[in-house]
C-alpha cells in the first residue's frame, strides 16, 4: 500500500487475551498497510485507546464484563467521536446477552474462526482506504 507524503497509516487496536490470535491478525493487518497496537485485556485496552488513538478497535469479547470495557474504550477516544469498535469472538452466547451493542459504539461482529480477508476489507472500507487490486 502506498502512502503519500504526510498521510498517516490507519491504526488498528487489537484487544485479545490470546497472543496467537493477536499475532495472526497483526500480521495480516500490517501486510495490508495498517499500523497495529495490541492489548491483552479490556483494562489494558482502555489505557491503550487513549494513548494510541486508534482508527478502529478489534475487541475479543470473552467475558460479560468486557462489554463495559468496550464502552469505556469508545468513550476514552473522544466524546461522540470514538473509533469503530468490532467484536471478534467465539462468545456467541455473550453477544446474545449484550443487547444494545450499537449504543456501546459497536460497529459489527466477526465470529471466530476469523475470516481474515473479510476483516481486512471491512476495515479498509470503513476507514475509506482504497481496495487492493487482485
Question: What tens digit of pLDDT does each residue of 42-56 get?
Answer: 788 878 887 888 999
Q: Identify the sign of the CA torsion 22, 25, 31, 33.
A: negative
Residues 129 and 124: their CA atoms lie apart, in Å, by 5
Question: What tens digit of pLDDT does each residue of 83-119 get?
Answer: 788 878 776 555 555 556 666 667 778 878 889 999 9
Residues 21 and 58: their CA atoms lie apart, in Å, by 11
User: Residue ranges of the domains in the chain?
Assistant: 11-124
Q: Which CATH superfamily is domain 11-124 in?
A: Response regulator (3.40.50.2300)
The model carries a pTM of 0.78
Per-residue confidence (pLDDT) for residue 86, from 0 to 100: 83
Mean pLDDT on 15-21: 90
- Please answer whether residues 107 and 86 qualify as being in contact, where contact means their C-beta atoms are separated by less than 8 angstroms: yes
Amino acid at each position: 500500500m502506498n502512502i503519500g507524503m504526510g498521510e498517516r497509516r490507519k491504526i488498528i487496536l487489537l484487544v485479545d487475551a490470546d497472543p496467537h490470535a493477536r499475532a495472526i491478525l497483526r500480521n495480516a493487518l500490517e501486510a495490508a498497510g495498517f499500523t497495529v497496537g495490541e492489548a491483552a485485556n479490556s483494562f489494558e485496552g482502555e489505557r491503550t485507546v487513549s494513548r494510541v488513538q486508534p482508527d478502529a478497535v478489534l475487541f475479543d469479547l470473552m467475558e460479560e464484563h468486557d462489554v463495559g470495557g468496550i464502552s469505556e474504550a469508545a468513550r476514552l477516544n473522544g466524546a461522540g467521536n470514538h473509533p469503530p469498535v468490532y467484536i471478534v469472538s467465539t462468545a456467541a452466547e455473550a453477544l446474545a446477552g449484550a443487547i444494545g451493542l450499537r449504543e456501546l459504539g459497536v460497529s459489527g461482529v466477526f465470529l471466530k474462526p476469523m475470516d481474515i480477508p473479510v476483516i481486512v476489507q471491512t476495515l479498509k472500507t470503513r476507514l475509506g482506504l482504497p481496495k487492493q487490486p487482485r
